[in-house]
Amino acid sequence: MSEGSDNGFVRTLGRWDVLAVAFGAMIGFGWIVLTGGFLESAGTLGAALAFLIGGVVVALVGLTYAELVSAMPHAGGEHNYVLRAMGSRWAFVTSWALVLGYGSVVAFEAVALPQTLLYLFPDMLAGRLWTVAGYEVYASWVAVGVVSAVVITWLNYVGVRPAAVFQSVAVLFLLAVGLALVVGSFVGGDTDNMQPLFTGGAAGLISVLVATPFLFVGFDVIPQSAEEIKLPYRKIGQLLLVSVAMAVGWYVLIMITVGSSLPAADLAASELAAADGMAALWGSDLMGTVLVLGGIAGILTSWNGFLIGASRLVYALAQSGMLPAWFGRLHPRYRTPGNALLFIGGLSALAPFFGRQTLVWMVDAGGLSIIVAYVMVAVSFVLLRRREPDMARPFRAPGGPATGVVAAVLALGLGVLFLPGMPAALVWPYEWVLLAVWWALGLAFLLRVPSVGPGPDAEECVLAAKGR
């Protein structure tokens, strides 16, 4: 990074902090609302197997991340890897794609939280404002999202340590809820409810598999905050992989435990299958409410984790001279990328005004953008292995360049699923228009980025070309 930035952040994140940030980012609210559909489509073991397979795909991509973050532990993660491997223009394309991906998740969580509270307080809607894409927006609903966005942003603004403590507490509660679900499965579960173990054949398995990569998104926030981690660089790479393993274990256990709670048809008909399953396992509606609270904890951990990632990425772009310098300033007291946080946090505070459907479109478009980054990182991994074999790599991914090639091919395969006619196809015209607008804006910045080739001095060359 440019002068001063290497010493600007405070290295304060320990082993548990890193795991909490990454694992919490991967566990949102989808595991509560989607489980019933997964079990109906593939069966109890079929759904669990789909998550195992999806976890392997993500782990292969994670291996490339683990090596590169140990070699280049700088804020901005992917931005640095692609810059060194492929040059300035490709680095901007990768980072710009990720800003949309991360930013869309942060914005969506500001909508997911008030929407989830409706399950607990169905009478909370008051003060109808307007309708957006068929969704009625209420003042009370918006207020919950805006106030929450302000609190989460402020928590991150005043230091990464308060944000990490909040993340740790929320993740511990989430894990406690998961433990209660497992215990409930032994207490009130019935293996007969798990039948059929497999259903739908290959099509059923694939229908669940296509969703798994997007539920695992979040491990990649670790590289974004690498300059704030006080651990050996090799350990950072290892913890990234551990966080993926934890998420795989979580989703597999959810499929099995919820699958044992009620017949598959009942779960499929439920709006909140996991919550109804928990209530059935314990014979108490209160335990269903507890599980919904666990879902809220998942929303908050995902929101917090992606806010950390998005702000560091915007900061890194500005530090490289690819975005206005205002975004690349650290707060003199809190040592956080304060301006970048205010920008991302401000967008999340605006999100509730647009209702739920528009944010769903944004998240879908952002999902494709994150896959683009996965491909670029895997390609960068292969290029750097061949071009700079002697580069210090405290963590070395097994398999060498072949691991990167396989990761790139698998990530490309995930990207194909977004194309028309495929299971995760983007909605025409809304989601494609969002992508077009985002990349039109990005093109305006890209044309101002000096064309600098790859190499260890790429960033200094970009800054020199910009006259900084």
pLDDT tens by residue, 44-57: 999 999 999 989 98
Identify whether the C-beta of residue 79 lies closer than 8 Å to the C-beta of residue 317. yes
Per-residue buried b or exposed e for 347-381, using 16+ beta carbons within 10 Å of the residue's own CB: bbbebbbbbbebbbbbbbbbbbbbbbbbbbbbbbb
Q: What pLDDT does 358 receive?
A: 82
What single letter denotes the amino acid at residue 453?
Answer: G
Strand, coil or helix: 367? helix
Q: What pLDDT does 1 receive?
A: 41
Q: What pLDDT does 427 receive?
A: 87
Identify whether the C-beta of residue 313 lies closer than 8 Å to the C-beta of residue 95. yes
Facing residues of 128 across strands? 138
Q: What pLDDT does 45 receive?
A: 95
The label of the residue with tokens 């929407």 reads 115
Could you tell me which CATH number the domain at 15-462 has? Answer: 1.20.1740.10
- Residue ranges, the chain, pLDDT below 70: 1-7, 467-468
Task: At 225, list the tokens.
Answer: 């905050």
Task: At 403, list the tokens.
Answer: 């691991």
Cα-Cα-Cα-Cα dihedral sign, residues 391, 397, 402, 405: negative
Q: What pLDDT does 323 receive?
A: 95
Q: Which of 261, 296, 245 is nearest to 182 (CA)?
A: 261
Contacts of 8 by beta carbon, 8 Å cutoff, 6+ apart? 330, 335
Query: What are the backbone angles phi and psi of residue 234, rounded to the nearest 5°?
Result: -60, -40
| 324, HSE (Cβ side, Cα atoms, 13 Å) | 6
Facing residues of 137 across strands? 130
0.85 exceeded by the pTM? yes
Q: What is the Rg, in whole angstroms, of the alpha carbon atoms belonging to the chain?
A: 22
The label of the residue with tokens 């940030």 reads 21
Number of Cβ within a 10 Å radius of residue 342: 17
Q: What pLDDT does 5 receive?
A: 41
Contacts of 369 by beta carbon, 8 Å cutoff, 6+ apart? 97, 98, 100, 101, 435, 438
Contacts of 229 by beta carbon, 8 Å cutoff, 6+ apart? 11, 13, 17, 18, 73, 222, 236
Distance between CA atoms of residues 145 and 424, nearest Å: 28
